[in-house]
Amino acid sequence: MTLQEIGDVPTTPVWYNGFLAMTSQPSSCIEELSPRVYKLEIVGWEITLRCNLQCLHCGSSAGPSSTRTCELDLEECKSVVRQLVALGTSRIVLSGGEPFLCNHWEPLAQFICDQGIYLQFVSNGTLIDDNLSRKLQNLPGKVAVGLSLDGAVPETHENLRNSPGLFQKVLRAIKLLRVHGIPVAVITTVHKDNLAELRGLYKLLLQSGVYVWQIQLAMPSGRMSDHPEMVLSGEESLSLARFIARVRDEGNLRVVAGDNLGYYNSLEIKLRESLWTGCPAGIRALGIRSNGDVTGVSLCRKLLQRATYAKSHWLRSG
């Protein structure tokens, strides 16, 4: 199946405000500095470390045999959601590992939607079939899915993920989700081997009907810390930023720079919808691991001081 075969299917999530990028919602610097507006808006939650892939660049070091002891069960997850509701959280992003491998993803998703919280998934796309798409469609709330796609041609996406056929599976997942009215984002992690393919991927996505393209840097964390040679140089990061600024200017597709890209150079104003006013970790955002550990944001592999603050002040059991 090619993207040209996908055809025109509905996708108009007017409520949608970017995918995982914490800066996607407009804000003013003055508001940011005012303690009275500190509110935990978005939570990135790795609900399982298990994954059916074992990608070379996985920041979580997830895989088929990756486990965390004491991953939260459904009742514990619901308890966390109740606490997040009390803290005013408006968006939860369930990831992993592969979130659809979590045994209780469905009742948890249902519970989150029942609280009126926007729900997003980040998935590798392998488990998305007609049945799963229908389950997402039937959730009683606003739901979107972000799919990883790292190259314009199969080899680039599949080599790093060691999964032949994965490229077509992702394209099929995009189609299925769109057919079921689920807004789809694509998330691309950029490293040395796919930097040159971004224009080709852009053209592919223009035909796919995805709502957002989030472009983020591969970071030397997780398994990627064993491959620092794949991380972009400063010069390459700048060329990536220029690319993002260009395609945003073209205005054909909503493109969002990941929070690990920028800041404070002349391109900043063109990279995202609001000015970068500082890391939101522990202020407007936090990450939760599958065992309940709290980090600043999902991308933080180490518990930060501010995350410790978040854990003790935001998620205390009372």
Contacting positions for ligand SF4 (CB under 6 A): 51, 53-55, 58, 60, 62-63, 96-98, 124, 148, 161
Contact residues for 269 (Cβ-Cβ < 8 A; gap 6+): 275
Concatenate the DSSP letters of all residues of 224-247 into one string: GGG-GGGSPPHHHHHHHHHHHHHH
State the nearest-atom distance from the C-beta of 48 to ligand SF4, in Å: 9
Closer Cβ to ligand SF4, 146 or 282, answer by number: 146
Tokens of 79: 């308890």
Closer Cβ to ligand SF4, 200 or 222, answer by number: 222
Q: Are 182 and 139 in contact (CB under 8 A)?
A: no
Closer Cβ to ligand SF4, 89 or 124, answer by number: 124
State the nearest-atom distance from the C-beta of 126 to ligand SF4, in Å: 8
Closer Cβ to ligand SF4, 148 or 290, answer by number: 148
Query: 132-163 as b/e, with b when 16 or more CB fall inside 10 Å?
Result: bbebbeebeebbbbbbbbbbbeeebbbbbbeb
State the nearest-atom distance from the C-beta of 64 to ligand SF4, in Å: 9
| Apex 94 CA angle, 93 and 99, nearest 5 | 155
State the nearest-atom distance from the C-beta of 162 to ligand SF4, in Å: 9
Closer Cβ to ligand SF4, 177 or 275, answer by number: 177
Closer Cβ to ligand SF4, 71 or 98, answer by number: 98
State the nearest-atom distance from the C-beta of 286 to ligand SF4, in Å: 19
State the nearest-atom distance from the C-beta of 249 to ligand SF4, in Å: 30
Task: Please tell me the distance from the alpha carbon of residue 123 to that of residue 163, in angstroms, as a whole number.
Answer: 15
Closer Cβ to ligand SF4, 176 or 283, answer by number: 176
Q: Are 29 and 191 in contact (CB under 8 A)?
A: no
Contact residues for 289 (Cβ-Cβ < 8 A; gap 6+): 46, 49, 68, 295
CB-count exposure of residue 27 (10 Å: 0-12, 13-18, 19+): middle
State the nearest-atom distance from the C-beta of 47 to ligand SF4, in Å: 11
Q: Are 127 and 150 in contact (CB under 8 A)?
A: no
Place of tokens 């994954």: 51
